[in-house]
């Protein structure tokens, strides 16, 4: 259970960074193949974009919070922190996004999303068979989202050796800044 | 059956810091009496003492320790930093007493 919620007790640094970059590359390919894009910190939208652009967005929404957390870590931590740890752990946390994206490529989810968009545009009520897979996927994505925040918090706490309210409030602050950045950019 | 006794450092009665009053040689049965302060390292928990021991055996290499303990580098560094901070507090408390 400890490993599920805090894998960074056991993995960090270069090893985590290499695996994290593989997860980011896999997520980029998945998003591209499904004509999807991560257009803000935790939002996936539908868009026909070139592969490099999909990848660049993935990198930006991983690097931006990671660097902000690193700067906060420098300011708050009494330990000698390493940038490779925060980059590695936050990159490894992208595995959760990968798990969130993967079911989006299933025909039931893909068709469901298209049907909902069409239904919303034409004012027709979507059918139960369309909604059911999307409902299941919504629950899955909420679970993934919670785990994504837990992993990212633990990435910050372990890499920068900060804990308690100081760490929680700083982490929330960074999430708010990144979310706002996602709306503005 | 032998049970592994833990070295007591805190008084079970009042919670104060214990000191050594007597020492005994198991070989010749000699008894030494006095008032010896317990070194701060001995006042760490058993796990923390084990960590310090491993740290010395690894020549202070956190990377080697991380490999041996199966933990990540920052986790090992955090444990060490917590022990350093605890030792500093123990030493500060000693000087203020």
ipTM of the complex: 0.84
Is the pLDDT higher at A38 or at A118?
A38
At residue A185 the predicted structure's pLDDT band, cuts being 50, 70 and 90, is: confident
At residue B92 the predicted structure's pLDDT band, cuts being 50, 70 and 90, is: confident
Contacts of A124 (CB under 8 A, 6+ apart): A118
Q: Residue A105's closest CA among A46, A24, A54, A43?
A: A46
Q: How many domains does chain A have?
A: 1
Which structural domain range is residue A71 located in?
A: 11-184
- Chain-centroid distance of CA B85 in Å reads 13
Q: Could you tell me which residues of chain A have a Cβ less than 8 Å from any Cβ in chain B?
A: 8-13, 16, 78-82, 85, 89, 158-159, 161
Domain boundaries, chain B: 40-96
Residues of chain A positioned with their CB less than 8 A from the CB of B75: 8-10, 12, 158
Give me the mean pLDDT over the B4-13 stretch: 84
Cβ-defined contact of B78 to A13 (cutoff 8 Å): no
Task: Let me know if residue A3 belongs to a domain.
Answer: no
Angle, helices A51-76 vs A164-184, to 10°: value is: 150
Kindly list the distances between the CA atom of residue A29 and the CA atoms of A25, A50, A130, A138, B72, in Å, as whole numbers in the listed order.
6, 11, 26, 22, 29
Cβ-defined contact of A10 to B72 (cutoff 8 Å): yes
Across the interface, of B72, B77, B85, the residue whose CB is closest to A9 is B72
Written as six digits, the tokens of A84 are: 């490779």
At residue B1 the predicted structure's pLDDT band, cuts being 50, 70 and 90, is: low
Residues of chain A positioned with their CB less than 8 A from the CB of B70: 10
The SS3 call for residue A44 is: strand
Task: Let me know if residue A5 belongs to a domain.
Answer: no
At residue B97 the predicted structure's pLDDT band, cuts being 50, 70 and 90, is: low
Does residue A64 register a pLDDT over 60?
yes
Q: Residue A25's closest CA among A68, A65, A62?
A: A62
Q: Residue A63's closest CA among A36, A44, A86?
A: A86
Helix (H), strand (E) counts: chain A: 8, 2
Which B residues, 54 through 93, put their C-beta within 8 Å of a C-beta on chain A?
Answer: 70-75, 77-78, 81, 85
Whether the CB-CB separation of A158 and A8 falls below 8 Å is answered with yes
| Residue keyed to tokens 């499904």 | A34
Q: Give me the sign of the Cα torsion angle A82, A84, A88, A90.
A: positive
Residues of chain B positioned with their CB less than 8 A from the CB of A8: 72, 74-75
Cβ-defined contact of A13 to B73 (cutoff 8 Å): yes
| Percent of chain A predicted with pLDDT > 90 | 65
Q: Whole-number mean pLDDT of chain A? A: 91
Ramachandran assignment for A3, one of left (phi > 0), alpha (psi -120 to 50 degrees), beta (any other) = alpha
Whether the CB-CB separation of A11 and A90 falls below 8 Å is answered with no
Kindly list the distances between the CA atom of residue A152 and the CA atoms of A126, A145, B77, in Å, as whole numbers in the listed order.
36, 11, 19
Q: What pLDDT score was predicted for residue A117?
A: 77
> SS3 string of A61-125?
HHHHHHHHHHHHHHHHCCCCCCHHHHHHHHHHCHHHHHHHHHHHHCHHHHHHHHHHHHHHHHCCC
Residues of chain B positioned with their CB less than 8 A from the CB of A81: 74
Does residue B88 register a pLDDT over 80?
yes
Reported as a single tens digit per residue, the pLDDT across A145-174 is: 999 999 999 999 999 999 999 999 999 999
Give me the mean pLDDT over the B2-10 stretch: 79
Q: In degrees, to the nearest 5, what angle opens at C-alpha B62 toward C-alphas B71 and A154?
A: 40
Written as six digits, the tokens of A96 are: 């959760």
Q: In degrees, to the nearest 5, what angle opens at C-alpha A23 toward C-alphas A19 and A24?
A: 115
| Residue keyed to tokens 């350093």 | B84
Reported as a single tens digit per residue, the pLDDT across B11-62 is: 889 988 889 999 999 999 999 999 998 888 988 998 999 999 999 999 999 9
Does residue A62 register a pLDDT over 70?
yes
Reported as a single tens digit per residue, the pLDDT across B74-86 is: 999 999 999 999 9
Q: What pLDDT score was predicted for residue A41?
A: 84
Does residue A96 register a pLDDT over 90?
yes
By C-alpha distance, the chain B residue nearest A83 is B74
């Amino acid at each position: 259970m400890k490993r599920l919620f805090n894998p960074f007790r056991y993995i960090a640094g270069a090893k985590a960074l290499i695996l994290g970059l593989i997860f980011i590359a896999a997520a980029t390919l998945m998003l591209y193949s499904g004509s999807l894009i991560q257009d803000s910190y935790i939002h996936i939208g539908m868009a026909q974009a070139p592969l490099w652009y999909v990848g660049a967005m993935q990198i930006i929404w991983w690097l931006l919070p990671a660097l902000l957390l690193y700067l906060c870590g420098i300011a708050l931590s009494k330990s000698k922190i390493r940038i490779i740890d925060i980059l590695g752990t936050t990159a490894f946390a992208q595995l959760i996004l990968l798990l969130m994206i993967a079911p989006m490529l299933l025909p039931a989810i893909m068709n469901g999303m298209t049907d909902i968009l069409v239904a919303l545009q034409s004012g027709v009520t979507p059918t139960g068979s369309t909604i059911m897979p999307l409902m299941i996927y919504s629950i899955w994505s909420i679970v993934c989202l919670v785990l994504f925040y837990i992993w990212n918090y633990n990435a910050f706490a372990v890499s920068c050796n900060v804990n308690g309210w100081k760490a929680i409030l700083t982490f929330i602050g960074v999430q708010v800044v990144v979310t706002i950045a996602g709306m503005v950019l | 059956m032998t049970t592994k006794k833990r070295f007591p450092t805190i008084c079970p009665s009042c919670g104060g810091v214990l000191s050594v009053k007597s020492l005994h040689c198991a070989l010749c049965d000699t008894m030494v009496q006095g008032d010896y302060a317990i070194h701060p390292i001995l006042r760490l928990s058993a796990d923390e003492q084990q960590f310090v021991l491993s740290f010395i055996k690894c020549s202070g290499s956190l990377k080697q320790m991380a490999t041996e303990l199966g933990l990540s580098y920052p986790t090992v560094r955090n444990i060490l930093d917590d022990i350093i901070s605890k030792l500093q507090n123990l030493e500060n408390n000693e000087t203020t007493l």
